[in-house]
Amino acid sequence: MARDVRLLDHALVPEAELAAFSATHPAAGGIASFVGKVRPDEGVEALELSHYEPLTQPGMEALAEEALARWPLDGLLLIHRTGLMRAGEPIVLVAAAARHRRDAFEAADFAMDHLKSNAWFWKREKRADGWHWIEPRQQDHSDLKRWG
Amino acid sequence: MSVKLVFLGKLADLSGAPETLVPGPLDWEGLLTALPGPLGEGARGDKVKLAVNGKLLSDKTALSAADGDEVALLPPVSGG
């Protein structure tokens, strides 16, 4: 299957997922992948990611379809965590398998920019004085404009 | 039967619960009436979107939900 899109409410193990993805696409000339982790910011004790299943999953599927239509890929893997995470834990994994490296790099980059700004996730972080919701970042929106 | 309201992000904090049931049918005015204080103000905000049964409304004031429908109140996403 070209597209593998999942929400995970438990630990994401990128090494195992990448090994499985690679085995699924033996004909690919290369795989580009990106692992996003919870940044260890001063004072942040935990990060919680909430989502809305009826929008989040279909939105990620549509994103995968767009990438598959835009680049000649053998496969595309999008896995995103939900729930409670601590600093250093993987939060997202994107991998693109293609005949040629440029397509794999670009598709993974495209998918990450869209996940960071457009996907249906709400984040809050826990500090000593309690939980704080995280507002959208302008940088994420300007990153999206790269793709026209 | 009733209409299920689902609150996402900071709206869940304002409501005190992630979900609540209100009597149907429900239009925009009815929704605002059902949401007291800061929650109603939050729903009115330009950046808050509504989805009915997983479909985004392009104009939230055109809300028309029946018994059994699920209405989600969606503040701006923080990104993945």
Report how far residue B10's alpha carbon sits from residue A133's, in angstroms, rounded to the nearest whole number: 7
Side-chain half-sphere exposure of A25, counting CA atoms within 13 A: 25
A102: which DSSP letter? Answer: H
* CATH code, A19: 3.90.1170.40
Query: Of B12, B74, B79, which is closest to A117 when you measure between CB atoms?
Result: B79
A108: which DSSP letter? Answer: H
B16: which DSSP letter? Answer: S
The predicted-structure confidence for A58-90, as pLDDT tens digits, reads as follows 999 999 999 999 999 999 999 999 999 999 999
Interchain CB contacts (distance < 8 Å): A and B: 64
The predicted-structure confidence for A10-47, as pLDDT tens digits, reads as follows 999 999 999 999 999 999 999 999 999 999 989 999 99
Which residues in B lie closer than 8 A to residue A133 (C-beta atoms)? 9-10, 13, 78
User: Under an 8 A CB cutoff, do B78 and A136 touch?
Assistant: yes
User: Under an 8 A CB cutoff, do A135 and B76 touch?
Assistant: yes
Among B26, B77, B79, B76, smallest CA distance to B52 is for: B26
Enclosing domain of residue A79: 3-147
User: What end-to-end distance do the CA atoms of chain B give, in Å?
Assistant: 35
Q: What is the dihedral of CA B58, B64, B65, B71, to 10 degrees?
A: 30
Which residues in A lie closer than 8 A to residue B79 (C-beta atoms)? 115-119, 121, 123, 136-137, 140
Q: At CB < 8 Å, which residues of chain A contact B?
A: 36, 49-50, 52, 54-55, 58, 80, 91-92, 115-124, 131, 133-137, 140
Tell me what pLDDT residue B15 has.
92
Residue type, position A4, single letter: D
With 90 as the cut, is the pLDDT of residue B36 above it?
no
Number of domains in chain A: 1
**What band does B70 get if pLDDT is binned at 50, 70 and 90?**
very high
Tell me what pLDDT residue A96 has.
98
Helix (H, G, I), strand (E, B) or coil at B67: coil
With 90 as the cut, is the pLDDT of residue B79 above it?
no
Query: Of A55, A131, A135, which is closest to B78 when you measure between CB atoms?
Result: A135
Which residues in A lie closer than 8 A to residue B70 (C-beta atoms)? 54
Are residues A115 and A60 in contact, defined by beta-carbon separation less than 8 angstroms?
Answer: yes
pTM as predicted:
0.93
Helix (H, G, I), strand (E, B) or coil at B5: strand
Compute the average pLDDT of residues B36-44.
Answer: 91
Which residues in A lie closer than 8 A to residue B76 (C-beta atoms)? 135-136
Q: Can you say how many angstroms the Cα of residue B46 is from the centroid of all Cα atoms in its chain?
A: 13
The predicted-structure confidence for A81-116, as pLDDT tens digits, reads as follows 999 999 999 999 999 999 999 999 999 999 999 999
Side-chain half-sphere exposure of A62, counting CA atoms within 13 A: 10
Whether the complex's predicted ipTM surpasses the cut of 0.85: yes
User: Under an 8 A CB cutoff, do B6 and A140 touch?
Assistant: no
Domains located in chain B, CATH noted? 3-74 (3.10.20.30)
Report how far residue A146's alpha carbon sits from residue A46's, in angstroms, rounded to the nearest whole number: 31
Are residues A45 and A127 in contact, defined by beta-carbon separation less than 8 angstroms?
Answer: yes
Tell me what pLDDT residue A1 has.
64
